[in-house]
Amino acid sequence: MLEREKWKLIVPFILPGLLIYLVFALYPSARGIYVSFFNWSGLTRNMQYVGLANFAKLWKELTDPKDFYNLRIYLSHNLFLFCWALLTIFLGLVVAAIINNKPVGYNVFRVTYFFPNVLALPAIAVLWSMTLNPSFGIVNMTLKAIGLEKLALPWMSLQYDFPLFKLGLYTVGWIGLWGGLGWYMILFLASIQNIPIELVEAATIDGASKAKVFWSITIPLIWETVRTVIVFAVIGSLSGFALNFVLFERQAVKHADLILSYYYWQAFSNNKWGYASAIVVGIFIVTLTASIFSYRFFGRETVQY
């Protein structure tokens, strides 16, 4: 093939897409990092370079318990959702291990459990708002009808006290579990099915018990997947926004706001674009550190037989 003819395909095939990607995805990301060093109210064209002041302010809000915006409280909500995500991962692994043995109705479970993942977050929020509605939601109606009136709680309430957080935030955690379980299940299922059957057979012939096979062969071989999904859980629980945004639109949000809700408010209501950018850069740094940390320190434990 002639060299010149080759370029006639390469250039028109790559260039348009590369330009769109560079201009609308990569440049704004880089610019986002850039503006986090500026004081910028957006509407005026003056950007004032402030160095690391935005990050210093972020740090101060995070560490100062008396701070007005309670960024610490928002972060604790993110952490709480991260704990729910860990529980979801654990349950996803258990379900995958069971479904892998193809029990009766296994395909129905698989397809049903994954279904919430194709719903838009606002759809999930609306579905659960209706189901858990205190006056007509089917959950409380059923609880009342079978005499469990005490359990018919105001599930969406951000006033109702529960250990550590308001009940509404527990509901967010549950909805996250409901939506995420199928996703983790699919990932674990794929990686369990990648384990060569000969390994299991060989170990069994050598006299290993079934439990030992699971703990000594299955778990180490899917360890890489476990590591990956934990990084996903970190990213996921830090980037929560839409669910809370739709669920609690009509309530005082102090008890449910997440870091990104704060970002949203700073950017689109308060017009502190530079500071808002610093918040997402901060989140980016944390998630990047989490991924690097996970690969650097847990990477060596990955087993390859």
Q: Find how far residue 243's CA is from the centre of its chain.
A: 11
For another protein, give the closer residue by CB, 20 or 303.
20
For another protein, give the closer residue by CB, 63 or 270.
270
For another protein, give the closer residue by CB, 268 or 297.
268
Please tell me the distance from the alpha carbon of residue 260 to that of residue 276, in angstroms, as a whole number: 9
Rounded to a whole number of angstroms, the minimum distance from the CB of residue 100 to another protein is 8
Rounded to a whole number of angstroms, the minimum distance from the CB of residue 213 to another protein is 5
Please tell me the distance from the alpha carbon of residue 85 to that of residue 234, in angstroms, as a whole number: 8
Of the candidates 122, 258, 94, the residue with the CA atom closest to the CA atom of residue 181: 94
For another protein, give the closer residue by CB, 63 or 190.
190
Rounded to a whole number of angstroms, the minimum distance from the CB of residue 120 to another protein is 4
Question: Cβ distance 208 to 291 under 8 Å?
Answer: no
Please tell me the distance from the alpha carbon of residue 35 to that of residue 287, in angstroms, as a whole number: 20
Q: E strands of the chain, at which residues? A: 38-39, 48-49
Please tell me the distance from the alpha carbon of residue 154 to that of residue 182, in angstroms, as a whole number: 27
The two three-digit tokens of residue 279, written as one number:
């918040």
Question: Cβ distance 247 to 127 under 8 Å?
Answer: no
Q: Identify the H or E element spanning 19.
A: helix 3-21
Rounded to a whole number of angstroms, the minimum distance from the CB of residue 19 to another protein is 10
Q: Find how far residue 76's CA is from the centre of its chain.
A: 15
In the beta sheet, which residues pair with residue 64?
Answer: none
Question: Cβ distance 38 to 48 under 8 Å?
Answer: yes
Rounded to a whole number of angstroms, the minimum distance from the CB of residue 111 to another protein is 6
CA angle, 171 then 175 then 179, to 5°: 170
Ramachandran assignment for 167, one of left (phi > 0), alpha (psi -120 to 50 degrees), beta (any other): alpha
Rounded to a whole number of angstroms, the minimum distance from the CB of residue 130 to another protein is 6
For another protein, give the closer residue by CB, 165 or 183.
183
For another protein, give the closer residue by CB, 214 or 297.
214
The two three-digit tokens of residue 71, written as one number:
């960024």
For another protein, give the closer residue by CB, 255 or 282.
282
Rounded to a whole number of angstroms, the minimum distance from the CB of residue 187 to another protein is 6
Rounded to a whole number of angstroms, the minimum distance from the CB of residue 238 to another protein is 9
Written as one letter, the residue type at 123 is A
For another protein, give the closer residue by CB, 16 or 161.
16
